[in-house]
Amino acid sequence: MPSETAKIVRDRKTRIVATLGPASSSYEMIEKLFIAGVDVFRLNMSHGGSDGKDELIANIRAVEKRMHRPIAILADLQGPKLRIGQFENGSIMLNNGDIFHLDMNSKLGNSSRVTLPHKEIFEAMNVGTHLLLDDGKVKLEVTNIDGQDATCKVLVGGKLSDRKGVNVPNTVLPIAALTEKDRADLSYAVKAGCDWIALSFVQRPADVAEAKKLAGPGVAIMAKIEKPAAIDCLSEIVEYADGVMVARGDLGVEEPMENVPGLQKQIVRCARLEGKPVIVATQMLESMISSPVPTRAEVTDVANAVLEGADAVMLSAESAVGEYPIEAVSVMNRVTERVENDPTNSIAEFGISQMMANSTPGDAITAAARTVATTVHASAIVTFTSSGTTALRAARERPEAPILVLTPRIEIARRLALVWGLHTVKTKDINDFEHMIGKAKRMAFRTGLVTPGDRIVVTAGVPFGTPGATNVLHIAWINGNELN
């Protein structure tokens, strides 16, 4: 008989991602966060790169072993960091209408100029180009370019201090998404067995293609949508990537803030159409960094992401450096549960209603499984997969019934922990049809999804072990005599 921890089934379909950091790096805290509701742990490679990550990964895997549940690890690459240089006195004050220069001179800056050590920006800018400094707090307009000296007019002034970030909205910069640091961190993450690699600074499909080539086969790449240029070729990026993240913080710097909610919906829907998992991230419960309770607006923000059909919602500083990491996860867990289980709502009314099936046999079978499960009031849909493709199809349909995924590969079980509605179990492979149906019944019972007398709908691919070949749908009764 399996331990009680093997029966952990979330009472929600939306998944929770939590970032690890100084407030949440110990084994004890990671275990508490998992019990509170975390499905995926994010490693922020911007802070220290691979330094100290071995211990975090070991702690996550130890919790996974103790809890008998696959846990996904997401390594988030830093990407290029575009920053100005330093000032003689550490900072200056710019006023609206001032003239200010950006140049490649390495001298310390002053009230009239500062270093911009990125020749790629000079290559891309033109007269009229807008530059955003310090997350958009200071706004400049280029009025003249003389080689590597840009004369700018201050449109929005304010305090400007050393090494603040630079954004160039509405401009595709000739900069690769992967720096040398990112390449080293990506190599480390692959060797360390991370399940997802999040790619920053994605501007075009080629950025994702490069990361996938470097990562090699079997590594899932998640494209972070944080640049307006990525929106212009969103469908192509989503097609190339294995998943996407709505990185609202950076996206809201270069895009007007009022555009971000609509872009979030657009990105989520595009990912849903492609059957790719999508995370909504940044500032979801920001006030809980220092408060034990969130604002009502933050709760509504989380709820809206659930209603839009996101696969997962993410905590960043709240769980990494905040004072209340467990409380933040608990709040997110309660909100997602409440929204999904609200009797006044139905999945058909949400943005998570099913999409039109693709014209393939596998998609047709999976779409039929959703309809059959609803018609016969099945307690669960059980799907067998070796590559994860069958499970992703099942999640894309957003069925009312829970989805139990059985796979012989632990790396697939972990990766699918990110995906909406999937309860994934690593189990031995199957070899014939009767074996498949018997195992589906037993595992559905052992995980607590069904009781004797219930029905389940089973999907799989024959011959067994053929990736993506979903071609079998079967309705089975749960008979108590068969469950030993």
Instruction: Find the mean pLDDT for residues 28-39.
Output: 98
Place of tokens 């575009």: 82
> Could you confirm whether 396 is annotated as catalytic?
no
Q: Could you report the per-residue pLDDT of 273-308, keeping only the tens digit for each?
A: 999 999 999 999 999 999 999 999 999 999 999 999
Residue 470 lies in a domain: yes
Same domain, 33 and 118: no
User: Model confidence at 361, in pLDDT bands (50, 70, 90)?
Assistant: confident
pLDDT computed for residue 352 by the predictor: 47
Work out the angle at residue 178's Cα, subtended by the Cα atoms of residues 173 and 181, and round it to the nearest 5 degrees. Answer: 125
Cα dihedral: 226, 227, 228, 230 (round 10): -90
Between residues 104 and 479, which one has the greater pLDDT?
104
Task: Please identify, among 167, 186, 209, the residue that sits at the C-terminal boundary of a domain.
Answer: 167
Number of separate domains in the chain: 3
pLDDT computed for residue 4 by the predictor: 37
Same domain, 180 and 276: yes
> Could you confirm whether 296 is annotated as catalytic?
no
pLDDT computed for residue 418 by the predictor: 98
> Could you confirm whether 426 is annotated as catalytic?
no
Q: SS3 for 76?
A: strand
Same domain, 422 and 299: no
Q: Could you report the per-residue pLDDT of 386-416, keeping only the tens digit for each?
A: 999 999 999 999 999 999 999 999 999 999 9
Q: Could you report the per-residue pLDDT of 180-211, keeping only the tens digit for each?
A: 999 999 999 999 999 999 999 999 999 999 99
Which residue in the list 69, 212, 224, 272 is annotated as catalytic?
224
Instruction: Find the mean pLDDT for residues 138-148.
Output: 96
Q: Could you tell me the residue range of the domain that residue 95 belongs to?
A: 91-167
pLDDT computed for residue 421 by the predictor: 95
Q: How far apart are CA 475 and CA 334, in angstroms?
A: 33
Q: Could you report the per-residue pLDDT of 438-471, keeping only the tens digit for each?
A: 999 999 999 999 999 999 999 987 776 666 677 8
Give the domain CATH number at 100: 2.40.33.10
Same domain, 195 and 110: no
Residue 284 lies in a domain: yes
Give the domain CATH number at 301: 3.20.20.60
What percentage of the chain has pLDDT greater than the value 90?
84
Same domain, 193 and 75: yes
pLDDT computed for residue 262 by the predictor: 97
> Could you confirm whether 42 is annotated as catalytic?
yes
Instruction: Find the mean pLDDT for residues 124-143.
Output: 96
Q: How far apart are CA 249 and CA 78, in angstroms?
A: 14
Residue 442 lies in a domain: yes
Same domain, 193 and 108: no
Residue 464 lies in a domain: yes
* Six-digit token string for 281: 């991230």
Which residue in the list 10, 32, 61, 83 is annotated as catalytic?
83
pLDDT higher than threshold 50 for residue 2: no
Residue 264 lies in a domain: yes
Same domain, 18 and 162: no
Task: Please identify, among 138, 167, 196, the residue that sits at the C-terminal boundary of a domain.
Answer: 167
Same domain, 270 and 365: no
Instruction: Find the mean pLDDT for residues 249-260.
Output: 93
Which residue in the list 13, 42, 212, 393 is annotated as catalytic?
42
Q: What single DSSP character describes residue 169?
A: T
**Ramachandran quadrant class, 427 (left: phi over 0; alpha: psi -120 to 50; beta: rest):** beta
Give the domain CATH number at 436: 3.40.1380.20
Which residue in the list 282, 366, 385, 470 is annotated as catalytic?
282
Instruction: Find the mean pLDDT for residues 151-176.
Output: 95
Same domain, 208 and 317: yes
Task: Please identify, among 167, 184, 205, the residue that sits at the C-terminal boundary of a domain.
Answer: 167
Long-range interactions of 315-318: CB distance < 8 A, separation 24+: 315/16, 315/17, 315/18, 315/19, 315/284, 315/285, 316/19, 316/42, 316/44, 316/281, 316/282, 316/283, 317/19, 317/21, 317/286, 317/289, 318/284, 318/285, 318/286, 318/288, 318/289
